[in-house]
Amino acid sequence: MTPTATVTRFIELICLGRLEEAAELTAEDITYHNLPMPPVFGRADMAAVLGGVCQLADEVDWVVHHQAEVGTVVLNERTDRFRRGDHWYEIPVMGSFTLSNGLITRWSDYFDLAQFTERFEGFFAAQ
């Protein structure tokens, strides 16, 4: 798969709730960095952070508005959407992915943490 195809499949699997298969597209030593927060190192910790949000959602829909590749890097502009009950929680994001040997070795997402906190009020509440 090309870098773009790998990232596209990675996001598809996340949206399908198939997080274990998604994680298999990442390197064991992946660096996962939500820019407003400290980076997370390793596939297991990445999957835990990702799962901590996705597994609360009844439905996950990451809309990729634009995606482009340069060398081994894929950049995209997205709206990451999570449904819980009848409410969709949405955050605008840009992501940067570096690939090596067909696996994602670095995933950096850029967004505003205060906007996320405000828009996701209630999302993390027990139901």
Q: Near a copy of itself by CB under 8 A, which window of 7-15, 41-49, 51-59, 113-121?
A: 113-121
Binding of a copy of itself by 111 (CB under 8 A): yes
Binding of a copy of itself by 73 (CB under 8 A): yes
Binding of a copy of itself by 67 (CB under 8 A): yes
Sequence-ordered strand ranges (E) for 1-127? 26-34, 40-41, 59-70, 73-84, 87-100, 103-110
Binding of a copy of itself by 110 (CB under 8 A): yes
Backbone angles phi, psi at 62, to 5 degrees: -100, 115
Report DSSP letters for 107-124, one per residue: EEEE--HHHHHHHTTTTT
What would the two tokens of residue 79 be? 């709206």
Q: Which of 76, 82, 89, 104 binds a copy of itself (CB under 8 A)?
A: 76
Q: Which of 5, 16, 63, 113 binds a copy of itself (CB under 8 A)?
A: 113
What would the two tokens of residue 60 be? 């996950």
Interface with a copy of itself (CB under 8 A): 35-36, 66-70, 73-77, 92-96, 108, 110-115
